[in-house]
Amino acid sequence: MKNTILYTILFATIFLIITCDNDHGIKPINSNISGTITYTGEWPAKAAEVRLVAANAFPPSDLSDLIIGESIPTTGSEYNYNFYLKPGTYNVLGVAWREEGSTWDILSISGLYFEGTDSLSPGVVELPNENSQVTDIDIHVNRSSAKRITNSKIEGSITFEGAWPDSITEVRVISTTKFSLFPTLQLPTLLDISFSNSIPVESDSAQYVINAYPSRFIATGVLFFKEDQSLSINDILYSSSVGGLSFAPIDIEENETVEGPDFIVKFE
């Protein structure tokens, strides 16, 4: 019995020595994205903290889809950042703020990386391997456009008629504070849009809930996401052609739930 115990202790000791000799600990993440964040305007409330954020999925469904990075300065006009991330494709890269006494939310995002001018789709950044370093990924943050997180919501329903197109991978309802087709075209950017929950493809009907914020929303629409395609004006025009776009204004206050349009989408 004693010999058995001694052999067990000896084996365990040898195992630990071998393991310790070969284990160099968790490797640090070397792949990173860097650039300059420029600030304008003033925060709508006192900032508790501002952080870098990223996401593989676009649009992110909820807070769990966000990678929340390091804390960065809340003041000043410029900051050079270095965001260490695992290799992968990042479809969202930006800056999020949180006011004092509030929590993080998708609406916390107040600045995004765009390829060129602001658009409906953020720029995509690839980190192919663990030593990848992508530079000059610049982000502009207009502090005055940041959204205060309140329990404000827009709710409604959608009915789908006809055969669903095969190309659609996801459906969301969006509402925006900036958009017009006439007399001049004015497209929103992602920072003007609030997204609903994901609507299952091939549904006959569904309820939608949009996490909003106190403001006037001037257009609400059903957006159909297609695999490997970025959002564009064509997606909005398609939504309009199948009955998925409403220009009925929605005024919403803090912590208010407002009834949004009920859509009947007719696929041809």
**Residue 233 neighbours by CB under 8 Å, 6+ apart:** 120, 185, 187
Tell me what pLDDT residue 73 has: 93
Mean pLDDT of 223-241: 84
State yes or no: pLDDT of 2 exceeds 60.
no
How many helical (H) and strand (E) elements, i.e. helices and strands, does the chain have? 2, 20
CB-CB contact of 227 with 123 (8 Å): no
More confident residue, 117 or 179: 179
Q: Which of 24-33, 93-102, 231-240 has the highest mean pLDDT?
A: 93-102
pLDDT band for 26, please (50, 70, 90 cuts): low
The mean pLDDT value for 131-137 works out to 96
pLDDT band at 15 (very low <50, low <70, confident <90, very high): very low
Percent pLDDT > 70 in the chain is 90
Angstrom distance (rounded) from CA 130 to CA 111: 26
Q: By the 8 A CB rule, do 121 and 230 touch?
A: yes
Q: Is the pLDDT of residue 190 over 90?
A: no
- Spatial distance between the Cα atoms of 217 and 153, rounded to a whole number of angstroms: 12
Per-position b or e across 122-134, b if 16+ CB within 10 A of its CB: bbebebeeeebeb
Q: Rounded CA gap, 63 and 243, in Å?
A: 30
Residue 144: band (very low, low, confident or very high) from pLDDT cuts 50, 70, 90? very high
Q: Would you list the domain boundaries of the chain?
A: 32-145, 152-266
What pLDDT score does 218 carry?
Answer: 95
pLDDT for 158: 97
DSSP 180: B
- pLDDT value at 81 more than 90: yes
pLDDT of residue 185: 78
C-alpha span between 161 and 163 (Å, rounded)? 7
Average model confidence (pLDDT) across the chain: 87
Q: CATH assignment of 32-145?
A: 2.60.40
Two structure tokens written together for 202: 């091939």
